Chain A
């Protein structure tokens, strides 16, 4: 069964303290891995799409990487405004739906 697991469930950082979030997946025929950010009470906001192992994408303080089994979202020198839940999702095989992880809740203290 296709599955996406994110860790840790929650992470608390000091402003400027870099860290990484993990998204591991077991799917048949990966057709894309997606990172989203979700603020409380709002819909997810698209961040990145990764399609093949070795691919990397960057946006401001965020950098996403992909291997054959997992993806990392690296946060460099985070700021309080980076506080949110970060969701990972995959599309596999011929399935139109996205399979989502439970997310990592990130809090960045000033």
Chain B
């Protein structure tokens, strides 16, 4: 069983640039969610994708966008980077996305983004 993999693991950008982070979900999982985790904080929900459609979003501006592909892998795009965007970005996969679905999320190792 293949786990959740994310790339790149580390990257450095400057203010105003754009970044794309990638995630391959665990085998058999059709739902991907993205989280932002600042140092010393709990993860903050960005959005969730189920069968290629966004079906839940947290309090993040529109410059945070995403995609899910037919193989359930996903991308997180952030435009016009700001210093406060520096964080660990976590991708999590799960099976099922309905309100009754379990909260067992399987996380990748994360992508550490530094914005200078």
Contact = CB atoms under 8 A, between A and B. Distances in A.
Interface of A: 4, 31-32, 34, 41-46, 49, 87, 89, 91, 94-98, 100-103
Given A42-B110, A43-B107, A103 B90 contact: no
Given A44-B90, A96-B99, A102 B41 contact: yes
B103 interface: yes
Interface of B: 4, 33, 40-45, 48, 55-56, 58, 88, 90, 92, 97, 99-100, 102-110, 112
A43 B110 contact: yes
Given A43-B4, A97-B45, A97-B58, A32 B103 contact: yes
B8 to A, nearest CB: 14
B42 A87 contact: yes
Given A41-B88, A45-B107, A95-B56, 15 more contacts: A32-B102, A32-B103, A34-B104, A41-B110, A43-B107, A43-B108, A44-B105, A46-B104, A46-B105, A46-B106, A49-B104, A89-B42, A91-B103, A96-B48, A98-B103
B40 A102 contact: yes
Nearest to B104: A46
Contacts of B108: 43
B27 to A, nearest CB: 16
Contacts of A91: 103
A101 B103 CA distance: 15
A8 to B, nearest CB: 14
26 contacts: A4-B42, A31-B99, A32-B103, A34-B103, A34-B104, A34-B105, A42-B110, A43-B4, A43-B92, A43-B107, A43-B108, A43-B109, A44-B90, A44-B107, A45-B107, A46-B104, A49-B104, A91-B103, A95-B56, A96-B55, A97-B48, A97-B56, A98-B43, A98-B45, A98-B105, A102-B41
